[in-house]
């Protein structure tokens, strides 16, 4: 299902476009298929990565890399951890949401790709990732508790201690229960000193491509 929607999104790419390259196990297939189109069809595109993962994949597939200093983005394609009926998202399961938000928000068009398990009625079952400056751990945790959030610092696997993001920061996974007001919450969280970026993405998605047991669906 991830491969189906990732490959379908790659078919939306037009020759000459500057692409925002999302992060995760679904966008991996998007990047792969864009790479195949570069190789087989000779399309000329450039990618702006949202993580070391997408940067390495782009290099592997000979997709030239550029930056926001040099180019504006025509189309960004990214994954999601939850998608609500208004196309509000929770992202950051791969700890890449800060760069993803910068890239996705500055793209002319944003397509989200996901398997059908990511569609929800209300956001919040997936704990909300919040990237923070390490020295702000205690005050940010207190502020998030005051907002009703239960906070867990994300710990590394095959690495002692916390996950360190591509930007050198910590990730807090915050359980708020059902998030009824994602637009307000996205703004409020970023007013806490020490918060770099939160994983709520609201009011920005143009299209969602879902991989399902019954095939690919365009929402």
Query: Catalytic residue positions?
Result: 100
Give the phi and the psi of residue 60 in degrees, each rounded to 5. -55, -35
Instruction: Give the interface segment with ligand 5RP, choosing from 23-31, 146-154, 202-210, 211-219 (CB under 6 A).
Output: 23-31
Residue from 23, 55, 169, 198 touching ligand 5RP (CB under 6 A): that is 23
- Spell out, one character per residue from 71 to 110, where the chain touches ligand 5RP: x when CB under 6 A holds, - when not: -------xxxx---------xxxxxxx--x----------
Cα–Cα dist 217/219, whole Å: 6
Q: Residue 93 CB, nearest distance to ligand 5RP (Å)?
A: 3
Report the residue from 7, 9, 13, 24 that binds ligand 5RP according to the rule CB under 6 A: 24
Question: Please, which residue, 25 or 66, has the CB nearer to ligand 5RP?
Answer: 25
CA dihedral (40, 52, 2, 84) positive or negative: negative
Minimum Å gap between C-beta 187 and ligand 5RP is 19
194: left (phi over 0), alpha (psi -120 to 50) or beta: left
x/- track of binding to ligand 5RP for residues 26-45 (CB under 6 A) = x-------------------
Q: For ligand 5RP, give the closer residue by CB, 42 or 156.
A: 156
Residue 127 binds ligand 5RP (CB under 6 A): no
Q: Is 13 in the site for ligand 5RP (CB under 6 A)?
A: no
Candidate segments 20-28, 31-39, 68-76, 184-192, binder of ligand 5RP by CB under 6 A: 20-28
Binding site for ligand 5RP (CB under 6 A): 22-26, 78-81, 91-97, 100
């Amino acid at each position: 299902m991830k491969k189906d929607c990732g490959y379908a999104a790659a078919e939306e790419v037009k020759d000459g476009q500057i692409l925002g390259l999302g992060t995760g196990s679904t966008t991996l297939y998007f990047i792969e298929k864009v790479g195949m189109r570069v190789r087989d069809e000779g399309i000329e595109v450039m990618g702006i990565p949202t993580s070391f993962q997408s940067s390495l994949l782009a290099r592997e597939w000979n997709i030239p890399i550029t930056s926001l200093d040099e180019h504006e983005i025509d189309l960004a394609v990214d994954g999601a951890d939850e998608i609500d009926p208004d196309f509000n998202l929770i992202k950051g399961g791969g700890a890449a949401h800060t760069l993803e938000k910068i890239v996705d928000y500055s793209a002319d068009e944003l397509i989200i790709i996901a398997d059908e398990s990511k569609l929800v009625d209300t956001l919040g079952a997936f704990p909300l990732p919040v990237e923070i400056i390490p020295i702000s751990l205690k005050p940010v945790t207190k502020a998030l508790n005051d907002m009703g959030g239960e906070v867990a610092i994300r710990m590394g696997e095959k690495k002692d201690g916390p996950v360190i993001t591509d930007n050198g920061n910590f990730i807090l996974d915050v359980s708020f229960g059902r998030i009824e007001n994602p637009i307000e919450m996205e703004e409020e969280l970023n007013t806490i000193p020490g918060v770099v970026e939160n994983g709520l993405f609201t009011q920005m998605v143009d299209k969602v491509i879902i991989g399902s047991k019954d095939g690919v669906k365009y929402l």
